[in-house]
Structure 1
Amino acid sequence: QALPHLEHLNLAHNHLAAGTVLSTPGLGPLPRVTSLDLSGNSLYSGLVERLLGEAPALRALSLAQNSLTRLGRRTFWGTPALERLDLHSNVLMDIEDGAFEALPHLAHLNLSRNSLTCISDFSLQQLRVLDLSCNSIEAFQTAPDPQAEYQLAWLDLRENKLLHFPDLASLPRLLYLNMSNNLIRLPTGLAQGGEGIHAPSEGWSALPFSNPSGNASGHALSQLLNLDLSYNEIELVPEGFLEPLTSLRFLNLSRNCLRAFVGLRAGFLPCLVHLDVSHNALATLALGTRALGSLRTLLLQDNALQDLPPYT
């Protein structure tokens, strides 16, 4: 009310959780504020709603470095225009179903450095960037909706506890995928014809890039440019696992347990320019004469190779 034209407000690293502002109507109406930084204020769950109040024009909100443990359905009801939300470095363990339903324009969500253990029924179709790094996530699944049109282009799942590669067939617009520093093992084989065998845990796919519709021209993740699977427990990349990634330019498989890397089929990873399979246990490298036709950088240091293909 006193600052009717205020558009940007930075209250980071204060002591709002201990102040009287929470016993009053919070910050009061914020009719024109588009960016608000409340990071580092020791805020805990239940206080955010009172502090925010009505902020109908707010597009960017930082609640990073606080003490939030859960997000409820009403947490963001006062911020319907929100596009960017930063929640990194809290202690979030629970996100209530529908917590983000009041945010139809949310495009960028940072949930890194929290205590999340599972992402099930992911359904934020409008989201473009999702950072889930540095949690304790063991499973990531999208909601089972065949009509969903997910816009997600950037997904960071590094430094979690994933045991298997998630089924990402419903995320066809993904460009960047980081799953380094997990516990991932890939299935040891595929049936003839490229059909995936199921991994031990329900909801995980042996061939996560396959197109459920069977349309060869519409493979899931055919737009993916960057895939990082370094620092996992991968011993073998199954035949057919990477073949749908026809746009991939950067592939990092370093610091796994790889014993062999095979790409014999013509047109295998046709756009790949950078391949890192260093720091593994590679004894076999088998590449077809027409595979990896765009490759510029090949990192093979610290392996067990004794021979290379003559045309390498």
Structure 2
Amino acid sequence: MSMVVELLLSLVTIFTSVKGSCIKGCVCNEQPLTVFCNEGDMETIPMNVPAYAQEVSFAGNKIKTINSRIFYKGLRITKLDLSSNALTDIADDAFPNVRHTLNTLNLRGNQLTDVPKRSLSYLPLLHNFFLANNNIERLLPRTFESMVNLRHLDLSGNWLEQLSQNAFVGLHQLSHLNLSGNNIAALSASSLRNLNSVIVLDLSDNNIAKIHQNALTHTSFLEILNISRNKLEEIQIGHSGETGRLLILDLSTNKFSSIPTGSLSGMKQLDELYLQKNKIMNIEKGAFESMTKLKTLTLSENVLAGIPESAAWKGLKSLQRISLAGNLIHSLNDDLFGTKHKPDNSEMQAITNIDLSKNNISEIGSDVFSAMVVLQTLNLERNYITRIPGDAFSFNPILEELYLGSNHLQMPNFSWFASAIHPSSQKLTNFSSFLQNNPWTCNCKLYQESTDFFNFENAKEKKLPSLDGVICFEPTWLRGRSFSWYITSNKDHCDRTLLIMLRTLLPLLTFLVIIFLFIIKMPQFKLFRTLPSEQVRPKRIRLDSYKRDKIL
């Protein structure tokens, strides 16, 4: 009976190869060699897949089962997509006829409760296996043992609660493992055993509250580790096995309250560190000391009340981007990060991008950014800044972007524009400043000062910050109007106001000058012209005495 079935299948193969017919309701292409039967009402996989097909997709149908030997001999399928169906069962011998060609299998978005271990034993050449968003609750020991060539394994969005000791036996070539969106509560010393070749590991969106100190011992080639959106209260990664190759570490959205000394030790190659959305209120001395190659540090949306002292930043000689947005910082000391009196090439002096938005900053010192000579982008939006010192940016010659929107600036001091537009800058054409959503007082004084400054600076052929987005807050009748509209609508008024003031003052000044000249010309007011010297007064006194004696 089996010989008859195989004969029939062979006849189907010959027919489809010769005729090149396509499955009804599908889209077939011989260049490239694809068959797409997506978003239909199929409940089973058809048996007449064209023999030329290399990429086959049945995504978005109603297929519940992959039957035994559904793919006939001679097929050369390399990619098979069965995602977003209703799969609950896969026959043990579903794939033997594509075992020598299939390298990508997509089973995302189905209803599988276990990994089909026996079915996978026929796929030794599989490189990419996607099982995300199923109902898998466990990984049996040696589940993937036969998949010795697997590179990418996606098990995200399932219901895994723990990882058994030998779950990943045989995965000698695996480089990317995604376990995000499960219910894993802890990583034991053996959870990640047999993952010696993994480079990217995603454990985000789980319930991990504890990581054993030896959990990463068997992942010595790990370069990217994501443990964000878990329940960790203590940073334990620095003591957890081999982390010397790590380049990117994401610990955001956990429950850390501090960064202790040594908690991140050993990560000498780390390039990016993400610690946003925790509850960090303290960074201990030397917390980042071993991270001499770190370039990006994100500490946004924590509860830092101020900029930690310089000892906390020790070792960060290569840091270029730092985000402290969304904390509780209320003031900026004149020596930000403690860099002002340090020699060149020391900590925090390579910074090009600083984000201090969404804090409680009300005032900026004149020397805050003086040591950051390579600063290019500075974000101070959504604070309570009322004024900016005139020389605030005098030492930032290549500052390109400055964000000051949503503060409490009422009347700008245009001198800080001048300090930001440094004469030695080579990137002035990219300079931009965003001043929107400040309580600007729009009046003729603002118009006159901005006009005088912009005319003066335009004479130097410099591209200036735009005031197009500035919205008036005062006076009340202008609230909500743009400053540009005010200038356009009131230019003549302001010019006329100035002219009226000059016309009013000129007669008064003329009158005062005439009165003054009249007074000094009158004889009886000679006193205003020449004051008597000490030698004249005695002579006049003697003359008066002589006249008086003669009369007597």
Q: CA deviation at 1:53?
A: 3.1
User: Measured at CA, do residues 226 and 279 of structure 1 come closer, stay the same or move farther in structure 2, by a change above 3 Å?
Assistant: same
Residue pairs, 1:47-126, within 5 angstroms? 48-121=116-189, 122-123=192-193, 124-126=195-197
Higher mean C-alpha displacement, 81-90 vs 47-56: 47-56
User: Which of 207, 217, 225 pairs up with 1:136?
Assistant: 207
Letter in 2 for 1:280: N
Q: State the partner residue of 2:356.
A: 300
Letter in 2 for 1:171: T
Q: State the partner residue of 2:328.
A: 281
State the secondary structure of the residue aligned to 1:95: coil
Q: CA deviation at 1:135?
A: 1.0
Q: State the partner residue of 1:260.
A: 306
Q: State the partner residue of 1:215.
A: none
Letter in 2 for 1:251: L
Q: State the partner residue of 1:11.
A: 82
**RMSD of the alignment, in Å?**
2.4
Q: State the partner residue of 1:231.
A: 277
Whole-angstrom distance in 2 between the partners of 1:100 and 1:180: 27
Whole-angstrom distance in 1 between the partners of 2:215 and 2:142: 25
Whole-angstrom distance in 2 between the partners of 1:307 and 1:5: 67
Q: CA deviation at 1:81?
A: 1.1
Whole-angstrom distance in 1 between the partners of 2:128 and 2:298: 33
User: Measured at CA, do residues 56 and 129 of structure 1 come closer, stay the same or move farther in structure 2, by a change above 3 Å?
Assistant: same
Letter in 2 for 1:33: L
Gaps of 5+ in 2: 1-71, 370-552
Higher mean C-alpha displacement, 151-160 vs 4-13: 4-13
Q: State the partner residue of 1:202.
A: none
User: Which of 231, 238, 248 pairs up with 2:294?
Assistant: 248
Q: Normalising by the residue count of structure 1, what TM-score does the alignment of the two structures yield?
A: 0.82
Q: CA deviation at 1:263?
A: 5.0
C-alpha distance after superposition, 1:243-268 (max 9, x if no partner):
21111111110110112333536974
State the secondary structure of the residue aligned to 1:260: coil
Letter in 2 for 1:162: L
C-alpha distance after superposition, 1:92-120 (max 9, x if no partner):
11221111121111110001111111112
Q: Normalising by the residue count of structure 2, what TM-score does the alignment of the two structures yield?
A: 0.48
Whole-angstrom distance in 1 between the partners of 2:368 and 2:258: 29
Q: State the partner residue of 2:264.
A: 209
Q: State the partner residue of 1:173.
A: 245
Is 1:32 equivalent to 2:104 in the alignment? no
Is 1:43 equivalent to 2:100 in the alignment? no
Q: State the partner residue of 1:150.
A: 220
Q: State the partner residue of 1:186.
A: 258
User: Measured at CA, do residues 60 and 242 of structure 1 come closer, stay the same or move farther in structure 2, by a change above 3 Å?
Assistant: same
User: Measured at CA, do residues 267 and 114 of structure 1 come closer, stay the same or move farther in structure 2, by a change above 3 Å?
Assistant: closer
Whole-angstrom distance in 1 between the partners of 2:181 and 2:76: 35
Gaps of 5+ in 1: 190-195, 197-206, 211-219
C-alpha distance after superposition, 1:170-195 (max 9, x if no partner):
211111111111111225x6xxxxxx
Q: CA deviation at 1:286?
A: 4.1
Higher mean C-alpha displacement, 69-78 vs 301-310: 301-310
The answer to which structure, 1 or 2, has the higher relative contact order (CA under 8 A, 6+ apart) is 1
User: Which of 164, 174, 178 pairs up with 2:234?
Assistant: 164
C-alpha distance after superposition, 1:130-180 (max 9, x if no partner):
01111111122353797x670111011111111111233521111111111
C-alpha distance after superposition, 1:2-33 (max 9, x if no partner):
24533222221223315xx43x5333352331
User: Measured at CA, do residues 150 and 177 of structure 1 come closer, stay the same or move farther in structure 2, by a change above 3 Å?
Assistant: same
C-alpha distance after superposition, 1:51-76 (max 9, x if no partner):
32321111110011111011111311
Is 1:272 equivalent to 2:319 in the alignment? yes
Whole-angstrom distance in 2 between the partners of 1:71 and 1:240: 41
Q: CA deviation at 1:272?
A: 1.1
Letter in 1 for 2:357: Q
Q: CA deviation at 1:283?
A: 4.3
On the 8 A contact 2:213/2:236 being kept in 1, the answer is: no
The structure richer in helix per residue is: 2
State the secondary structure of the residue aligned to 2:258: coil
Letter in 2 for 1:288: T
